Amino acid sequence: MLNTTHPLELLARLFSYPDEGLLAAVKEAHEHGGGEAAGVGTGAFLAAMGERTLPELEELYIQAFDMNPDVCLDIGWHLFGEDYARGEFLVKVRQELRKYGLEEKGELPDHITCILPLMARMPEEESRQFGETFLLPALRKIEKAIGEENPYRHLLAALGRRLADSTQTASRTEGIIHD
């Protein structure tokens, strides 16, 4: 079982390179994370993974995220390409990771497995704004590029729905408060 309970941290685990605990993590995320919309996505992902072996899961991951730059999980690349602005973004994300006590673990700071735990630790409004400004636009590009046949599309869709739901909820709340 995972030690994290925040839905974004549960989803981050699912975007990590597969290991023996992946399917158990998917089940936990499905049961405990992300609301109804994200639950549908994690359930569809779990069903699509079927009875695949670990080497098959690893190959699927590599084909999904490592072989095609349009589907890489480095959100800064989708937003800025290899422009200088991405370097600035990486520095700022690295500062935020330190601010919230998160360690870098082999991926660049803008990798989705670093971004989701960061957002889980940010205050709710800051997390929502970060997701709306940075993660959602990158996620939309990744979703368009990943093939319909790839089970990871379900996780991408689940994350997108979760972020969109939180943005819509905040907009409705702001309307009530300001009206």
Identify whether the C-beta of residue 38 lies closer than 8 Å to the C-beta of residue 159. yes
Can you give the pLDDT of all 179 residues of the chain as single tens digits?
Answer: 444 468 888 889 899 999 988 878 877 777 765 544 445 677 888 888 878 889 999 999 999 999 999 999 999 999 999 999 999 999 999 999 999 999 988 899 999 999 999 999 999 999 999 999 999 999 999 999 998 889 999 999 989 988 887 766 554 444 433 33
Amino acid (one-letter) located at 13 = R
Q: Do 29 and 23 meet the contact criterion of CB atoms below 8 Å apart?
A: no
Nearest to 60 by CA among 145, 153, 152: 152
Beta bridge partners of 74: 111
H/E stretch holding 8 reads helix 7-14
Query: In the chain, what are the domain boundaries?
Result: 7-178
| pLDDT given at position 4 | 46
Whether the CB-CB separation of 21 and 28 falls below 8 Å is answered with no
Q: What separation in angstroms does the CA of 119 have from each of 3, 58, 115, 170?
A: 17, 26, 6, 15
